Chains A and B, each alone.
Chain A
Amino acid sequence: MLEIKHLTKIYDNTVLALDDVSFTVPQGQFLAVVGLSGSGKSTLLRCINRLIEPTSGQVILDGIDVTAAQPDELRRIRRRIGMIFQHFNLVLRSPVITNVLAGRLGYTNPMWSLINRFSKEDIAMALKQLDRVGIKDKAYVRADELSGGQQQRVGIARALMQEPSIMLADEPVASLDPVLAHSIMQYLEQLRDEGITVICSLHFLDLVQRYADRVVALKDGNLVFDGSPQEIDDERFKEIYGEEAQRIG
């Protein structure tokens, strides 16, 4: 279970990106985070694994206070939280398999990393994850030779290497065409079915309604909606996206 309590983030003492946000996500839920551009979705997701330091508030994962964790403990917490990104964030010059293996770094002794060594089990596991996302044949190709959809699958394989209990996805399909978008979303859906909590920021409401169990909406850093996707009617929509907004899709 993930508890977000009074989470606030102020950038550079001026920009209030998150304003006292609280909600709780039970294990195995598919939670969509929606909101206008600049509403604080990315900030929220990154505060959960402390890629961004929250200004105040708490993130509690299965009873462990993430926000108070010291470096070593934070490392152990992070490896339970997988993350995928809008721009995939692969190391483009490295081969696919190296990118996937990087997901194992939280479990690897840093001294082994010095000589670029992973265990046999890790390599076998990496190939298995690549197989799962359907690009095992690309394992030894440089990452920049892959298409966008393939790169996002590598991103998923990398996150799965962490054997996560939570998967954070920051607009995972915003750079992909609709067909690819659905295939990526289906992988996330599978993860949810395996009991992994998925927290995914999304721009398109049709994707939200099709995949999410629950939606939270942010507006200027405030939590303005928390409920099931079906509850978002025209009125709610206008609350979230503003009066002039038009529904597309």
Chain B
Amino acid sequence: MNKSSPSFLRILGRIALVVAIIIVYAFGLQVTKVDLEKPQEAKRQEQLTNILRGLAHPDLISYEIDRLTVDAPIIVPCTGTPPPIPPAEAGQPTISLSSYCAQPGEKITVTGTGFGPGEDVFIFFVPFAPTVKDEVELKLASNTVTTNSDGTFSEEVTLKSDRLSENVQKIRAVVNRRVGAPQPSEALKQTWEKIIETVFLAFIATTFGVILAVPISFLAARNLMLQVTSNFTRFMASLVIMPIGGYLGYLIVVKLAAVGAQLVGAGPPPGETALWALPLVGLAVAQAASSSNTFWKTIQRWVLAIIIAAVAVVLLSALGQLGRQTGLTLKQTLGAWSFFGNFLLIFSDAIVLGLPALGAFVGLFSLNPPMNRILEPLLPKLPRLTKRILAFVLAALAGAILFGLIAATLNWFYEFGELSQVIVWPAIIGAVLLAVLALVIDPDREIPTGMFVYYVLRTIMNTFRSIEPLVMVVAFAVWVGIGPFAGVMALGLHTIVALGKLYSEQVENISTGPIEAITATGANRLQTIIYAVIPQIVPPYIAFTLYRWDINVRMSTIIGFGGGGGIGFLLSQNINLLKYRQASVNMIAIAIVVASLDYLSAKVREKIT
């Protein structure tokens, strides 16, 4: 008994397992509504036939049609007086009826002569109508009649049981004759247009994706970011000064851009522009003070550099505005070449919109180096207590700014209330938190700032990477409207995060020897990246870019299903409208494009490796 019970339990366990498996599958089949009867229903089978036949007959070519009609008079119902029968012209197709008057619903035989051999003839009944324009054609035979080799046919048809009239009505035979050379069909033309759109959609998305993924990949590479550390006090100072710098940069560039816009007569006058030159000169002095060369020479250099930068911003802004205006005009006047005007418009818009962002970005980082050069030599000389107080004050400020900014962002999303009130408490809490941190942490402690950036970027990338572009595009289509632009944005965003991750893994895989060697020569971090990192990562970057290009071509063919434009949009429309022959053309085009671009990138890959 004792011996048999474990094996009994085992059998019981197995049975339970089998039952569990059956339950899982039973439930799975139920929720997925698998139903083997449905595909066999006559209606479903007919639909399947329609689809398959439609797909098998892609609507590729069309002809111009010459419609040949031949009429014979008939009176329904019979009134005694037969209608006048027009004489047959020699060589012309004619039809004759077995009887020129008939009762409704009666069968009569229609005989035709003088047609071409093997032509398809439709037979209609044309009820009496006062003018030719009011005539309607009612099909008498469900299928077409095919003429014999001598150009004759004979078909028994059943008259309609309504449509009675005392007037003469008509039996009509119609032949659609193709004339002229075969031409690409409307569907083919549309497909061509959309395929071009599709390929460029993939191209633009890949380009933007790659351009942005490259810098991101460095910031998301563990081995590079691990080395980026900052002394606690300096880090707090950076936290304080970076938002200020970013905001100042933004303000300055907006003002300068307004000057530029006004130069070319666009936009309102900028107001007290001269005042905005002051922070620029201040920055120049700060930069100069931080350099080691002779003070005045450096000042000259920096003032010159900053004046050049300011003039460049003004000019860029003016050019951008000018380009916008010209672009708009060209777009409307160039006709077939209007895409050139459009290009100018987009390019100029990018400049006009990008300038303030660029200003903010440069501002974010440009106050940091001079500050560091002041703090770096200063900090070690400060007495311990002063250092602690400095760290404490900076940390409190940094906490207030950081938490205030976060609160402002959240307030934008959730609309808690008036901004100036909403941020007060978070700012205080932030100040207290970081101030306390400053009390417990040694002000000289190295903080792994790089790893912060690393984790933030990795989190963002992993989140966005898990959302399919086909889903993203729905959101973008709501924002910028259904069309290829939404597709570019969705595919581009997904490309950035996907490539950002793949690229950064390549950076993590590089051999450290050269980095060590280049660092030892006294190269700074930027130089180390250029000389030790980039040569190692260019080949894998190219390989992954091609790989992504393949994916983007595939994705761009279906992104239209989510509202992203391209051939997918056309295909989904055709399927919804049951135009399977047109859909078939779209599918063939997709297959050709995907296959040939695959082949092409395989060739390129062979070349470069």
Contacts and interface: CB of A to CB of B under 8 A. Distances in A.
Interface in B495-547: 513-514, 516-524, 526-527, 530-532, 535-536, 538-539
Determine chain B's interface SS by DSSP, over half rule: helix
A13 to B, nearest CB: 14
B514 A89 contact: yes
A89 B377 CA distance: 33
Contacts of B377: 70
A219 interface: no
A116 B530 contact: yes
Nearest to B229: A53
Contacts of B527: 105, 108, 110, 113
Given A68-B380, A110-B527, A49 B513 contact: no
B514 A105 contact: no
In this complex, the interface size class of chain A, counting residues with CB under 8 Å from chain B, is 35 or more
A244 B295 CA distance: 64
Contacts of A71: 376, 524
A174 to B, nearest CB: 14
Interface string A131-162: 00000000000000000000000010011011
Interface in A43-91: 49, 51, 68, 70-72, 75-79, 81-83, 85, 87-91
Contacts of B522: 75-79, 105-107, 162
B387 interface: no
B465 interface: no
Contacts of A230: none
A93 B539 CA distance: 10
A51 B520 CA distance: 7
B524 A75 contact: yes
Nearest to A74: B522
Contacts of B526: 110, 113-114
B373 interface: yes
Nearest to B520: A83
A77 B521 CA distance: 9
Given A94-B535, A113-B530, A89 B516 contact: yes
A91 B536 CA distance: 7
B524 A102 contact: no
B64 to A, nearest CB: 61
Contacts of A155: 517
A114 B530 contact: yes
Contacts of A85: 513, 516-517
Contacts of B539: 93
B381 to A, nearest CB: 11
Nearest to A159: B521
Contacts of B536: 91, 93
A103 B531 CA distance: 11
A167 to B, nearest CB: 11
Contact of B517 (A75, A76, A89): A89
Nearest to B376: A70
A91 B539 CA distance: 14
A55 to B, nearest CB: 12
Contacts of A82: 520-521
A105 B527 CA distance: 7
A98 interface: yes
Nearest to B538: A93
A93 B516 CA distance: 16
A72 B290 CA distance: 11
Contact of A51 (B519, B531, B532): B519
A159 B521 CA distance: 7
A162 B521 CA distance: 7
Most buried by B among A79, A88, A105: A105
A102 B373 contact: no
Given A85-B513, A91-B536, A105 B376 contact: no
B447 to A, nearest CB: 14
Contacts of B517: 83, 85, 89-90, 102, 155, 158
A175 B90 CA distance: 104
A91 B514 contact: yes
Given A105-B531, A113-B526, A87 B513 contact: yes
Contact of B513 (A75, A89, A110, A113): A89
A162 B514 CA distance: 16
B526 to A, nearest CB: 5
Contacts of B514: 89-92
Contacts of A75: 522-524
Interface in A231-248: none
Nearest to A95: B535
A159 B516 CA distance: 13
Contact of B520 (A49, A68, A88, A104): A49
Contacts of B523: 75, 102, 105-106, 113
Nearest to B522: A106
A58 to B, nearest CB: 14
Interface string A150-191: 000001001101100000100000000000000000000000
A103 B521 contact: yes
20 contacts: A49-B520, A51-B519, A68-B380, A70-B380, A72-B292, A75-B523, A76-B522, A78-B521, A85-B516, A89-B514, A90-B513, A91-B514, A98-B531, A102-B518, A104-B521, A105-B521, A105-B524, A106-B522, A113-B527, A114-B526
Nearest first, the 10 closest Cβ-Cβ pairs linking A and B are A106-B522, A79-B522, A89-B513, A105-B523, A89-B517, A78-B522, A70-B376, A83-B520, A91-B514, A113-B527
Interface of A: 49, 51, 68, 70-72, 75-79, 81-83, 85, 87-94, 98, 102-108, 110, 113-114, 116, 155, 158-159, 161-162, 168
Given A49-B520, A114-B530, 14 more contacts: A51-B516, A77-B522, A87-B513, A93-B536, A94-B535, A98-B531, A102-B518, A102-B531, A102-B532, A103-B521, A104-B521, A105-B522, A162-B521, A168-B520
